[in-house]
Amino acid sequence: MAKNLVIVESPAKAKTIGQYLGKDYTVKSSFGHIRDLPKKGISVDVDHNFAPTYEIPADKKKIVSELKKAAVGATVWLASDEDREGEAIAWHLTQALKLDPKTTKRIVFHEITKPAIERAIEKPRIVDQRLVDAQQARRILDRLVGYELSPVLWKKVQTGLSAGRVQSVAVRLIVERERDIRNFKPEVNFKVTALFGTKADDLPAELAIRLKDADSVRVFLAAAAKETFTISAIDTKPGTRSPSPPFTTSSLQQEAARRLGFSVRQTMSVAQRLYEAGSITYMRTDSTNLAASALESIGNFITKTYGAKYHDSKQYKTRIAGAQEAHEAIRPTDVAREQAGEDDQQRKLYDLIRRRAIASQMSPAQIERTEVTIAMSNRSEVFNAKGEILLFDGFFKVYGGGKDDVLLPPLKQGDKLNLKTLTGTETYSRSSARYSEASLVKKLEELGIGRPSTYAPTISTIQTRGYIQKADVEGTERTIQVLTLLSGAITDETITEITGADRNKLLPTALADMTTDFLVKYFGEILDYDFTAHVEQDFDDIADGKQQWEKMLQDFYKGFHPLIEKSDDISREEASQARELGTDPKTKRPVIARYGRYGPMLQLGEAEDEEKPKFASLPADTTLETVTLEQALEMFTLPRTVGKTEDGQDILADIGRYGPYIKVGKTFVSIKDQDPLTIDEETARMAYEEKLKQNADKYIAEFKGGLKIVNGPYGPYVTNGKKNAKIPKETDPAKLTEAQAKKLLAEAPAKRPRFRRSKAA
């Protein structure tokens, strides 16, 4: 039996560390947390200092048993990650394995390399209870919010919803940004650009001011046709571009999204595998600091590879307040190693991390910027032309990002220029950009909300819960007026452009709108940006020993719980964002837009009326906030009789949960590209006939008792409606007899039972 037992949280990490330690060491994995709050029940005693009740989940009991057996007679080394979550894992191990946390050896390292492991073993410490308390405080507070606030949403808004201290604030950010975009009124003006001829090449330039309307442009162009143009000033200035710091968790997520197209979750998963393989340092960090040994090795590599003039050693100051999660930025463990990773994603991310770390220690790029001012003979307006030359590439050599040189033709002050064309183009100011995953991470970090380990699960949760969807936005077409002066004549034309198109952006659903409004109105403090950031600072203070975790939770709970108690007085109608649009002129009943069980809907009449209310879907491209009375009344004309089939059956058009459709008898046909209010009989007939053809092609053969041979999306199969059986590839499904079909079905494995996944807090 080994004299030493090293426990880490990941099998991959255990495998890598096991390669560096001798035969006296056994390395085993806890497979993450081995104790936690139970999935069911709040499990926090609010009346007794918020004492948590932890349990060992069923799937971890065997692991705990094996670790206990391995720990007998051995010196135990707890080697989980160095952040608060890792410290909590180490502490839970002491509790589950009945080890003394005051004497059990705790080791931490920022990279999984042999020297780092050996240094850690030479200087062990004990479990840092302050870090454990900070993690416990976060876990318990989030459990309190989730388990007390979520049921309020179930009762007042919709069953199955969840609320969370960070996730609800993230949703609020996205909802408010979308409303800003929706309500944005662009300012319109005209940008005037010129193309001048010189003795060498053409010189593009732009009028230094914007003109307010087409009439102003027309007057200006007419006047400019009579002007002479002279270079009145040439201003040349040296400039520099400095490299960015090495990656933190947040900046890695943002840059991997921008350069590689990775999602936040994907970036963290790939980085985790690189870390566990010993290729990069720990990937959950707020710090831009680099260890002295790393600075030395990177500096030597730069000098040897590119020359001394490219090396500029520097230590970056971490800008994020309360950065406590780790002590070094993300970097390669061996800067000379050009490639690492088991697949293409890992290799790409490793290359990005390595180049960023190297570039951070390289010299700034040297730029020469030139600005030319062009004056008019009889008017005060001036044009500007700008050029840029890269004199020394510096860190651009490794990390790129440098613009192509914008070269100006040879010019000198006093030169006369020949005006070739002058163009006034209508322009619109832009609204704020929608959030992508990466820009949302950046905003959360700026506000001090959440920490590196929380960003990926938060973004994943709000999408899974149906608050946010990641989608493309189709733009809308608008007209642009363009006036051009060419050869003394002014032309006026109208062109079109697409505006508002977006790709892979985070969009709020109607559920997010309603839930955010409800929470802001009745639980405003919980969704307040400053409050949420203040809570993060409290966690930092607990980790620093400046605050007791029980006291922090007491202060929070005495303000939070009364809001929960008061929520009983809130009516479901008030929470549903019901908006009365007006009165139906025929029935004199109110028309209401509100959120229902399956999403946004329209209601004709009140629940208290003698006649039951009628319900309808929202028209396409409308929201609860934008739908009008006229649009709503049209929806209550559905279902609409479009016409008849060739055999005389009625064709009805309507909208359901899954979009517009037509119905003939018991046959439903989706018509997603059509409007049920306007679809004509011929189009509806064609859709119905196509559906019948698909149904005919679907069934290869039918026998007694519901036994069928079906053409499925993954190939033909036999079914009796309760059980399916694949048909072997070498068998012609059209030639199967009833007896052969029954035999295939009898020999097929039984359907696996479906299990419901229990909801975690």
* Class of residue 646 by CB neighbours under 10 A (exposed 0-12, middle 13-18, buried 19+): exposed
Contact (CB, 8 A) for 274 and 281? no
Please tell me the distance from the alpha carbon of residue 315 to that of residue 699, in angstroms, as a whole number. Answer: 70
Contacts of 273 (CB under 8 A, 6+ apart): 12, 341, 342, 346
Tokens representing 211?
Answer: 């003109």
CATH dotted code for 188-242+365-428: 2.70.20.10
The CATH architecture of the domain made up of 153-184+434-568 is Orthogonal Bundle (1.10)
Question: Looking at 298-364, which runs of residues are DSSP E strands?
Answer: none
Contact (CB, 8 A) for 261 and 267? no
What was the pLDDT predicted at 273? 94
Task: Name residue 91's beta-bridge partners.
Answer: none
Per-10-residue mean pLDDT of the chain, 761 residues long, equals 86 90 92 91 93 94 94 93 92 95 92 91 95 95 92 84 89 95 94 94 95 96 96 95 94 94 94 93 90 94 97 83 64 95 96 97 95 96 94 92 78 94 96 94 90 88 92 90 95 93 91 89 89 91 95 94 88 74 92 80 84 86 85 90 92 86 91 88 91 82 86 86 87 89 85 41 32
| Domain ranges (residues) in the chain | 4-127, 153-184+434-568, 188-242+365-428, 249-359, 578-635, 640-699, 703-747
What was the pLDDT predicted at 747? 86
Which amino acid, residue 42? I
> What phi and psi, each to the nearest 5 degrees, are found at residue 490?
-105, 125
Kindly report whether the peptide bond that precedes residue 619 is cis, defined as omega within 30 degrees of 0.
Answer: no
Instruction: List, edge to edge, every strand of the sheet that includes 105-106.
Output: 25-29, 4-8, 75-78, 105-106
Which amino acid, residue 496? T
For the question of whether the overall pTM of this predicted structure is more than 0.85, the answer is no
Please tell me the distance from the alpha carbon of residue 625 to that of residue 236, in angstroms, as a whole number. Answer: 53
* Residue 549 three-state SS: helix
Tokens representing 690?
Answer: 């196509």
DSSP percent split of the chain into helix, strand, coil, nearest 5: 35, 25, 35
Please tell me the distance from the alpha carbon of residue 560 to that of residue 96, in angstroms, as a whole number. Answer: 33
Query: In terms of DSSP bridges, do strands 382-392 and 659-664 run parallel, antiparallel, or are they unpaired?
Result: unpaired
Q: Dihedral sign, CA of 202, 208, 214, 218?
A: negative
Contact (CB, 8 A) for 621 and 635? no
> What phi and psi, each to the nearest 5 degrees, are found at residue 20?
-95, -15
Contact (CB, 8 A) for 280 and 319? no
Tokens representing 237?
Answer: 């200035």
The CATH architecture of the domain made up of 4-127 is 3-Layer(aba) Sandwich (3.40)
Contact (CB, 8 A) for 280 and 394? no
Quick one: which H or E segment has residue 396? helix 396-399
Half-sphere exposure of 625 (CA within 13 A, CB side): 10
Which amino acid, residue 369? R
What was the pLDDT predicted at 590? 93
Cβ density class 690-699: b for 16+ within 10 Å, e for less: ebeeeeeeee
What was the pLDDT predicted at 751? 63
Kindly report whether the peptide bond that precedes residue 639 is cis, defined as omega within 30 degrees of 0.
Answer: yes
DSSP string, 38-72: -SSS--EETTTTTEE--B--GGGHHHHHHHHHHHT
Contact (CB, 8 A) for 700 and 711? yes
The answer to whether domain 188-242+365-428 and domain 249-359 are alike in fold is no
Q: Tokens 């890598």 label which residue?
A: 16
What's the gap between Cα 188 and its chain centre? 32
Annotated catalytic residue: which of 25, 275, 282, 399? 282
Please tell me the distance from the alpha carbon of residue 304 to that of residue 301, in angstroms, as a whole number. Answer: 5
Half-sphere exposure of 184 (CA within 13 A, CB side): 18
Contacts of 596 (CB under 8 A, 6+ apart): 576, 603, 615
* Start-end of H helices in 157-284: 167-183, 214-224, 249-260, 264-276
Please tell me the distance from the alpha carbon of residue 405 to that of residue 387, in angstroms, as a whole number. Answer: 8
* Residue 526 DSSP label: H
Which amino acid, residue 155? K
Q: Residues 587, 593, 596, 600: what is their CA dihedral angle, to the nearest 10 degrees?
A: 130
What was the pLDDT predicted at 403? 62
How far from 440 is each of 138, 169, 179, CA to CA, in Å?
21, 11, 16
Q: Which of 730, 728, 696 is nearest to 710 (CA)?
A: 696
Query: In terms of DSSP bridges, do strands 699-702 and 667-670 run parallel, antiparallel, or are they unpaired?
Result: unpaired
Half-sphere exposure of 543 (CA within 13 A, CB side): 21
* Residue 377 DSSP label: S
Please tell me the distance from the alpha carbon of residue 637 to that of residue 605, in angstroms, as a whole number. Answer: 15
Tokens representing 173?
Answer: 């950010």
Please tell me the distance from the alpha carbon of residue 339 to that of residue 204, in angstroms, as a whole number. Answer: 44
**Cβ neighbours around 59 below 10 Å, total:** 8
Contact (CB, 8 A) for 149 and 320? no
First to last CA, the chain: 40
How far from 613 is each of 588, 603, 628, 666, 689, CA to CA, in Å?
13, 6, 19, 25, 35
Q: Tokens 């007939």 label which residue?
A: 685
Task: Name residue 191's beta-bridge partners.
Answer: 425
What was the pLDDT predicted at 324? 45
> What phi and psi, each to the nearest 5 degrees, are found at residue 225?
-60, -25
Could you give the angle at the alpha carbon of 735 between the alpha carbons of 730 and 739, nearest 5°?
100
Q: Is 699 a catalytic residue?
A: no
> 208: phi > 0 → left, psi -120 to 50 → alpha, else beta; which?
alpha
* Residue 359 three-state SS: helix
Q: For domain 249-359, give its CATH number from 1.10.290.10, 2.40.160.60, 1.10.10.10, 1.20.1050.10.
A: 1.10.290.10
Which amino acid, residue 722? K
Contact (CB, 8 A) for 247 and 356? yes
Please tell me the distance from the alpha carbon of residue 80 to that of residue 72, in angstroms, as a whole number. Answer: 20
What was the pLDDT predicted at 402? 59
Which amino acid, residue 348? K
Q: Which of 331, 258, 257 is nearest to 289 (CA)?
A: 331
